Amino acid sequence: MSRSAPVVPAAALLTVALALTLTSCTGGGGEAGAARGSAGLRDPYFPRLGNGGYDASHYALTLDYDPEADASLRGTAVITARATRDLASFNLDLKGLDVEAVAVDGVTARWKRAGQELTVTPERGLDDGETFRTTVRYSGTPETLTDPDGSREGWLPTADGALALGEPAGSMAWFPGNHHPSDKAAYDLTVTVPEGLRAVSNGELTGESTRDGRTTFSWRTAEPMASYVATLAIGEFEIRRSTVGGRSTRLPVYVAVDPSQVEESRAVLGRIPEVVRWAEGNFGPYPFSSTGAIVDRPGDSAYALETQNRPVFPGAPDLSLLVHELAHQWYGDSVTPKSWRDMWLNEGFATYAEWLWEEDHGGDSAQEVFDALYEGDHFADAASNEAVWDFPPARPPSAARISDSPVYERGAMVLHKVREAVGDDAFFELIRGWAAAHRHGNADTADFTAYAEKFAEEAAPGADLTPVWDDWLYGDGKPPLA
């Protein structure tokens, strides 16, 4: 789904610059040999996101939220991680909220905050390779964050509860963590809300119990998940469970729909099993142990998001949006970008999935969509048709533009050029192989081009992919048709 892209607010850039300066001046020295874990992973677009020096493997989040009482969240996060160097201290990302206590392996730890960085200094240093558990107790009213492109994410209060969305940097608004897509982990989430409301998240529901007017929901996400596709939807929801048949193990479908959206979304959501089966035919086995959708009210967010297992939609989705978000389960959620520069690996694939669905269901062929984009009559207005050529898919000029049409539509055009170069059979084998090779992992653009080249050598000898990369993926302006 494309979103409009307002200009980067200058104030936002200034804030980032200030935070950088402030944090780099603070902090005591580590012990000799042990160091401070870095306060960011040098993402080309979001340098402060994530933290160096450790690798998180599991988040246990216990949350309590009452939208009526004071819209305040109380939380305990237990983060299991492995040190990847000797550490005197390390950072977590957390924006807003009050930290009440921090412990490492059960021992109270010192901590301080600067911007989105929560620096933890355990009583004793951590050794390279050591697994450690950090507990953070926190509370407060979570913030809604504004992205560089002006869109809202993080914690979004809704009429009946709240919705947590995290692409690219929103998850730090509701739990502390290593909030960069390159550090994926398993999750256990336990959420207590007033009786009558539900809490819906990723993975599978493992428990639900009511006591003294409050209901606790437990969700488990066993497969690795990037924190930007973690979600939590609190509110009134109608639940519909079914299964995707026709595979060796039945895949559970869990759909949660705001009561006001049940009628309008019934027909499209009823097609989830059909879409998943179709996608498995093209992309290979579904990568997770459940699927579904969360439909909140229109306006609860300004966009849909491919939250793992069950994408979030603000209002009833149309079929191509459902196809797009489910395709992301393979491309984005299972094969996750190494950095935000590799966004086209998410959006180019998910957009191309929409074209493939149309092609297979009596609509325009992918070639026809490609041609319309090339001729400049795909979108309703000239400016949008022109904007496709603003920058190369693999090189957005700024963080504000990682969700613009060069990433989505031109990203899909790159895949269409690959298909043209290697032929249909090899192409589908290639995109399945790509999903299999990096299943539950991370990959970047160079990994993709290398994979495609190597694959083509075998499956499509003589195919020349160089112009696809040079002109379509990395090249400025509108490439020649060749």
Extract the tokens encoding 66. 């009452």
Site size toward Zn ion (CB under 5 A) is 2
Cα R_g (the chain), whole angstroms: 22
> Partners of 3 in the beta sheet?
none
Nearer to ligand TRP, 43 or 306 (CB): 306
Extract the tokens encoding 184. 């994926």
Q: Out of 158, 221, 403, 405, which residue is the one contacting ligand TRP (CB under 6 A)?
A: 403
Nearer to Zn ion, 35 or 225 (CB): 225
Enter the DSSP assignment of 472: I
Find the binding residues for Zn ion in span 288-347 (CB under 5 A): 347
> Partners of 208 in the beta sheet?
217
Shortest reach from residue 408's CB to Zn ion, in Å = 7
* 248, 219 Cβ separation under 8 angstroms: no
Shortest reach from residue 45's CB to Zn ion, in Å = 17
The interface region with ligand TRP, picked from 298-306, 367-375, 384-392, 444-452 by CB under 6 A, is 298-306
Ordered DSSP codes for 36-103 = EPPS----SS-TTSS-SSEEEEEEEEEEEEETTTTSEEEEEEEEEEEESS-EEEEEEE--SSEEEEEE
Closest-by-Cβ residue to ligand TRP is: 403
* 217, 198 Cβ separation under 8 angstroms: yes
300 binds ligand TRP (CB under 6 A): no
3-state secondary structure of 31: coil
CA distances from 433 to 147, 280, 352, 417 (A): 33, 12, 16, 18
Q: Out of 155, 219, 254, 303, which residue is the one contacting ligand TRP (CB under 6 A)?
A: 303
Q: Out of 163, 350, 413, 465, which residue is the one contacting Zn ion (CB under 5 A)?
A: 350
Closest CA to 239 of 260, 253, 252, 254: 254
Shortest reach from residue 459's CB to ligand TRP, in Å = 29
405 binds ligand TRP (CB under 6 A): no
Q: Out of 77, 232, 295, 402, which residue is the one contacting ligand TRP (CB under 6 A)?
A: 402
Nearer to ligand TRP, 149 or 160 (CB): 149
Nearer to ligand TRP, 126 or 399 (CB): 399
347 binds ligand TRP (CB under 6 A): yes
Q: Out of 102, 104, 269, 305, which residue is the one contacting ligand TRP (CB under 6 A)?
A: 305
Extract the tokens encoding 41. 């992973």
3-state secondary structure of 122: coil
Q: Out of 167, 280, 342, 447, which residue is the one contacting ligand TRP (CB under 6 A)?
A: 167
Nearer to ligand TRP, 1 or 102 (CB): 1
Q: Which residues contact 296 (CB under 8 A, 6 or more apart)?
A: 158, 163, 233, 235, 258, 261, 312, 313, 314, 315
117 binds ligand TRP (CB under 6 A): no
Query: Contact residues for ligand TRP (CB under 6 A)?
Result: 1, 147, 167-168, 303-306, 324-325, 347, 350, 402-403
Query: Contact residues for Zn ion (CB under 5 A)?
Result: 347, 350
